[in-house]
Chain A
Amino acid sequence: MFSYYVRLALASMKRTPVLSALMILALGLGIGAFMTTFTVYYLMSGDPIPHKSGVLYAVQLDNWDPNEPPTESAKDVQPQLTYRDGQNLMNADTPAKRQAQMYATNVVVVPEGDDPPFDESVRATYQTFFDMFDVPFLYGQPWTDLDDEGHASVAILGREMNDQLFNGENSVGRSIRLDDNYFEIVGVIDDWQPMPRFYHSDWSRAFADAEQIFIPFSRAVDGPMGPSGNTNCWKPMDDSLPAIEGFLQSECVWTQFWAELETPEQAAAYKDYLDNYVREQKEIGRFERPLNTFISNVPEWMEVMEVVRNDNRVLTRLSFLFFLVCVLNTVGLLMAKFLGKGGEVALRRAMGASRGAVFSQNLVEVGLIGLLGGLVGTVLAWLGLRAVENLYRGYQHLVQLDPVMLATAVCLATLAAIIAGLYPVWRVSQLPPAGLLKTQ
């Protein structure tokens, strides 16, 4: 009977094309608007590293201006560390399983052959970064501890960069020229795009591409390769030192710092360690504010950094309300459509259709309208996401309709239509056939 009901539903929709189109469009618009905002929200609020997000912690130390308002939460503390503090922690024997200090810098990549040079963002970090964040390798492997200690000129490329410079071949052992220096390639990482890019604390670029070049932190500082991300200072640098050294020893914050802490006990011990470290620093005149150290795992860090901003949440809620309004409109349209079918329903009842059969037949029609509404909504959501992509740079990873979202859109529309249609379908199945047959 299902295929018969589908055929009847198509015939019925053809009979009232305007009304059917209006319902499909109403559902499509609602779904389109909701799915556009929800897709952005869903990808923004997704867990970028679900299997480890609970054991990776961003570190915050409050060494800011003592005249600033008091700290109440992690949101009030600078999200980055000074070079000095990061180095002190990297060189200390802390309770953490792994730690990584890092920053972003810009270089000019000079390809072999005739291709023109181009600017590229580089992540300067430690070899621990790759194991800590489970970065998948296509060729080679991370550089070694010795490379970090030896300020080695080694690099790891992303797959895209390797495709661009070496046509996707195994480039391990070959060199890449960054500015005026050559770096030996020790590894090529496979596709890796944590979303959001949680390890970079600059929320405005949390949805940008992962870097395609990684080099040792120590080598980048030697460069010297200055930070390309936010650099915030509250205290003048020491004029008596050379400029670079003055910057490195300053209270300017510009490096990100992450620790892998496998158990709550380890996290507590690490927090104690940080508190003690700050107490020690206070003794030498630093950290003039009250003791405020924070460690935040990845989900907590997304909150601290407000990766999903409130306006996005509000927009998602509003679009859901709009979707509900569209569904309510569809209820009205369905009532008009189905009550207009009274004559045919009465005839079918006379021919032997039970109320249940009439209910099923019309529910299939409602489901079909929902399905088509979902498909229209998916197209509209795709257009909406393209609009978001054009309006906001750096959101390109947030505007992908993945299969889960596609299926969600279609299922949501179908389900909404069925829920919206339950009452009209029930009403039409309860119509007394006797009175309607005369007037058909």
Chain B
Amino acid sequence: MLKMSNISKVYRTELVETHALRELDLHVEEGEFVAVTGPSGSGKTTFLNIAGLLESPSSGVYELDGEDVSQRNDKHRSRVRNEKIGFIFQSFNLIPDLSLADNVDVPLRYRGWSGQKRRKVIGEMLDLVGLGSRKDYLPSQLSGGQQQRVAIARALAGKPRFLLADEPTGNLDSEMASVVMNLLESINDEGTTIVMVTHDPDLAHRASRNIHILDGRASDLGSTGPANVTPLPERGVARV
């Protein structure tokens, strides 16, 4: 599903050269739920940005679904993002003056689906996260947990096969965090591949496999959860 080989990312300014990722190798199979952990500044977010095609690597090869997408043009990467990848952010990133339905509609608008099809999908997704009756609400009328559920509905609306979650429970209390994690687990059970960046060891343990990133390099911590665990194929390559 996701295969990164020798991925490096260097940020250069006039004064400083920062190596965010160093020859990172990483492999995620279809249907897995992977937690990526690591201290602040370790390169987790850069990894997530490259995995989500929001940034290009400085070197290395990134294959998504068997296709090398590391150096494709913006239009192609945008289409891949739209069709194959769903994003969930720590701060929800809902557009405040759009209704819940319109927020869920955002990725669908770039898909080119008909209005009828979009309305149907939006209804289904909001029902899935238990907010079907509030589709005309504004995000500000919801609690944090509800907002994150809307964000999940938005991420799932385009039927992506790959979900990237960046600290999805970071802004939620433990009860809401548990609700969101249960939802992610059930989504994973349906077959969607999930890669989740988190600081929380408890959440990481709920994933099927953990990757630890330190100083821009990934190391496989192996299986922590009950299922979907595959052994490391070789040294230095994190296979989750």
Q: Spell out A's residues near B (CB within 8 Å).
A: 1, 4, 11, 14-15, 343-344, 347-357, 432-434, 437-438, 440
Contact = CB atoms under 8 A, between A and B. Distances in A.
A15 B96 CA distance: 9
Interface in B69-103: 74-75, 78-79, 81-83, 87, 89-91, 93, 95-98
8 contacts: A15-B96, A343-B93, A349-B81, A350-B87, A351-B81, A351-B82, A355-B78, A356-B75
Given A11-B98, A353-B78, A354-B75, A434 B55 contact: yes
A269 to B, nearest CB: 70
Contact of B78 (A15, A357, A432): A357
Q: List 6 tightest A-B contacts by C-beta distance, closest first.
A: A352-B82, A354-B78, A434-B49, A352-B110, A351-B107, A434-B54
Contacts, number: 70
A433 B54 contact: yes
Contacts of A15: 96-97
Nearest to B73: A354
A434 B75 CA distance: 16
Contacts of B145: none
Contacts of B106: 347-348, 351
Given A351-B106, A352-B82, A437 B75 contact: no
B97 to A, nearest CB: 5
A265 to B, nearest CB: 65
B134 interface: no
B110 A351 contact: yes
B57 interface: no
B72 to A, nearest CB: 12
Given A352-B110, A357-B110, A347 B55 contact: no
A1 B95 contact: no
B74 A354 contact: yes
Interface string B183-213: 0000000000000000000000000000000
Contacts of B81: 349-352
Nearest to A439: B91
Nearest to A352: B82
Contact of A11 (B54, B82, B97, B107): B97
B178 to A, nearest CB: 24
A346 to B, nearest CB: 8
B45 interface: yes
Contacts of A434: 45, 49, 54-55
A368 to B, nearest CB: 16
Given A349-B54, A351-B107, A437 B93 contact: yes
A4 B158 CA distance: 18
Contacts of B93: 343, 347, 437, 440
A432 B55 contact: yes
Interface string B22-63: 000000000000000000000001000100101100000000
Contacts of A344: 95
B89 A1 contact: no
Interface of B: 45, 49, 52, 54-55, 74-75, 78-79, 81-83, 87, 89-91, 93, 95-98, 106-107, 109-111, 154, 158, 166
B75 A14 contact: no
B54 A437 contact: yes
A348 B90 CA distance: 16
Given A357-B110, A434-B49, A351 B87 contact: yes
Contacts of B74: 354-355
Given A352-B111, A354-B79, 6 more contacts: A14-B97, A15-B96, A352-B79, A352-B81, A437-B93, A438-B89
Nearest to B75: A354
Nearest to B48: A434
Nearest to A4: B109
B91 A440 contact: yes
A351 B54 CA distance: 10
A438 B48 CA distance: 11
Given A347-B106, A440-B93, A352 B83 contact: yes
Contact of A350 (B52, B95, B97): B52
**B49, B74, B78 — most chain A CB neighbours (10 Å):** B78
A347 B103 CA distance: 11
A347 B79 contact: no
Contacts of A352: 78-79, 81-83, 107, 110-111, 158
A351 B153 CA distance: 13
B170 to A, nearest CB: 11
Contacts of A355: 74, 78
Given A347-B93, A347-B95, A353 B110 contact: yes
A15 B138 CA distance: 13
A440 B151 CA distance: 14
Contacts of B83: 352
A11 B98 CA distance: 8
A433 B95 CA distance: 15
A121 B98 CA distance: 66
A49 to B, nearest CB: 55
A93 B154 CA distance: 91
A440 to B, nearest CB: 5
A436 to B, nearest CB: 10
A434 B56 CA distance: 10
A355 B73 CA distance: 11
B88 to A, nearest CB: 10
B114 to A, nearest CB: 13
A357 B74 CA distance: 11
Nearest to B91: A440
B109 to A, nearest CB: 6
A344 B78 CA distance: 16
A356 B74 CA distance: 9
Contacts of A353: 78, 82, 110
